[in-house]
Amino acid sequence: MNCLIVDDHEIARDTLIRLLKIDTSLKLIAACENAAEVYKNLAAHKVDLLFLDIEMPGVSGIELVKGLGEKRPLIIFVTSKKDYALEAFDLNVVDFITKPITPDRFLKAVNKAHEVYNLSNLFMGNSYDEFVFIRDAGVIRRIKMEDINYFEAQGDYVKIYMDEKLHAVHSSLKSIENKLPVKSFVRVHRSFIVNIGKIDSVEGNTLILHKRFVPVSDAYKASLNKRMQIL
């Protein structure tokens, strides 16, 4: 994974640079002092993971994450204060480490990042539009497209609803939408994509699929009605 270290203190940056050498799969792109340097490197390089301090002059680490949007890298916060933990995890970060950092604690956070990173590339369509692969409890499983009722975006994850099962993958809804067969799936809301063949009924701006309710926003209602071929 390509990484950025972001901390306004030189000693903290040097510590993380040394720790990164423990895991040879981590490639350091740059060690940044502030948000401006982060934006510059993100524009110039593919970055998968940020080791990010929170208390920095100008733009804080939390403000930086909020400003990066949906397609941001994975985030591991590295800070000297525990007070930010709740707010940090509300941003769906991979981990939150308090200084001073031990090698064991560093590796534990990195292992989490590897797991999430591997998940992000596992939702893959195929030439027959019949199935996808997902990682479930460390096992790669094949699920049939026809068994999927709908998708729901929640933070950095997308939930996959089936009749009796629920899976979650680390991805954006847009990325998944691009891999779905258009003949079977339709976007009905900024947070929902449904399998047209699984719609039981429509009541106003609500769809019912296998006893679950999915909202339909006005922006997508016309295209949904067209796709449903209502008589």
What is the mean pLDDT, run by run of 10 residues, along the chain of 231 residues?
A: 94 94 93 93 93 91 84 88 78 87 93 77 55 70 89 88 87 84 90 94 91 92 83 65
Q: Which two tokens stand for residue 83?
A: 């007070």
Q: Distances from the Cα of 69 to the Cαs of 11, 63, 65, 80, 218, in angstroms?
A: 29, 11, 7, 25, 24
The position carrying tokens 């993100």 is 42
pLDDT of residue 128: 47
**For residue 39, what are its two tokens?**
């934006």
Domains of the chain from N-terminus onward: 2-120 (3.40.50.2300), 131-228 (2.40.50.1020)
pTM for the full model? 0.57
- State residue 131's pLDDT score: 82
The pLDDT of residue 127: 45
The tokens describing 148, both together, are: 């999927």
* Nearby residues of 132 by Cβ (< 8 Å), 6 or more positions away: 123, 124, 125, 126, 142, 143, 145, 179
